[in-house]
Structure 1
């Protein structure tokens, strides 16, 4: 239940942050001045790519919410045997956090017209992401070598399914990141890569949020953190 609430709260917060950045919640009829002079009041609309990504993330978020709900309900049955979590999951999480940070730094740098930093950050984000995926494969290998196979137990199947689904979305993101990186090396104009960098950063932040919720679902780290906070407050 904690994972579901955490995931829903994260999605709501992520959506509110995204809407605020796009000024979708603005009220142009309350603005003063000549029409078209205030931000968001011109003829240009939200780029189709942003709208498409927003719709896609909503669908992906709903998909993961269904898997989280199914996992939470299934684990209460008698045939459930928990999977021991390899310690490698924590360094992998660090790699994903670093990739998200690198893309945010790239977004800040592209707004400052610093293309050298943008290129370096895009390359770093790609390297951290590949390291994360390689680490996930090593986790799978460790579990299979210790007898936790895909069909051995429902808990095993869910672990491979949800981590594999997250990894597939990472692979798809790497394709877009590769194109953005290639474009940054072909042009010195920040305007040509600004939208691509922003979309990649948004996508990586979303995948990081999903992964943190999945990690809590698998390891219960957030539950332990809440218990510690409660103990400190009482």
Structure 2
């Protein structure tokens, strides 16, 4: 009876420890959502004032969209695999996700370079449309870079067999954050595509 009681206490403490980082992550994601909601609202207000030049969004940003959706899928499979103690599959999908994350960053830079070639600059005295585009996509990319750093950490830990079916909080937190960035990008891409 004593053993089961101490196990219950340990499980309760473990659940509380797991809950704290999740709550902090959700709070920070709500803050990020508010930031981007504010920026997209400012975009709409400024566009309505006139002096706004529309421009075509380069194909590289569509490729970015496909890449980030795919990376969400691979990270989800990594999470499913660790819950089954399938370490080999977990490692494989974490590394694939990492590769896709870097591909997303690369495609964003390709998109920006194409915009510059087409005369859409970050600073343009004639129109602020390019500035808003660079700020929105650049801020999202900054959050992606943060996610990539965390992905590198959990990938390294996975290679060192630090995770199993009863200890995978790091992968779970990274998965929640990455899916959030995926949804955020889909919102931004749709917003920038339709509200030009």
1:63-78 to structure 2, matched below 5 A, reads: 63-78=35-50
Match of residue 187 from structure 1: 161
Match of residue 228 from structure 1: none
The DSSP-based 3-state class of the residue aligned with 1:131 is helix
Q: CA deviation at 1:122?
A: 0.4
Q: 1:167 is matched with which residue: 127, 138, 141?
A: 141
Uncovered stretches (5+) of structure 1, i.e. residues with no partner:
1-37, 222-234
1:149-228 to structure 2, matched below 5 A, reads: 149-152=121-124, 153-187=127-161, 189-191=163-165, 194-220=168-194
Q: 2:16 is matched with which residue: 34, 45, 53?
A: 45
Q: CA deviation at 1:77?
A: 1.8
Match of residue 53 from structure 2: 81
Q: CA deviation at 1:83?
A: 2.3
Give the Cα separation in 2 of the matches to 1:117 and 1:126.
14
The answer on whether the counterparts of 1:151 and 1:157 sit within 8 Å (CA) in structure 2 is yes
The answer on whether the counterparts of 2:68 and 2:101 sit within 8 Å (CA) in structure 1 is yes
Uncovered stretches (5+) of structure 2, i.e. residues with no partner:
1-7
Q: TM-score, normalised by structure 1?
A: 0.74
Alignment RMSD: 2.3
Structure having greater relative contact order (Cα 8 Å, sep ≥ 6): 2
Q: TM-score, normalised by structure 2?
A: 0.87
Q: CA deviation at 1:181?
A: 0.3
Kindly provide the CA deviation profile for residues 60-108 of structure 1, in whole angstroms up to 9, marking residues without a partner as x.
1111110111111111122011121112211111100111111100110
Give the Cα separation in 2 of the matches to 1:171 and 1:68.
21
The answer on whether the counterparts of 2:82 and 2:163 sit within 8 Å (CA) in structure 1 is no
Give the Cα separation in 2 of the matches to 1:185 and 1:178.
11
Q: CA deviation at 1:42?
A: 4.1
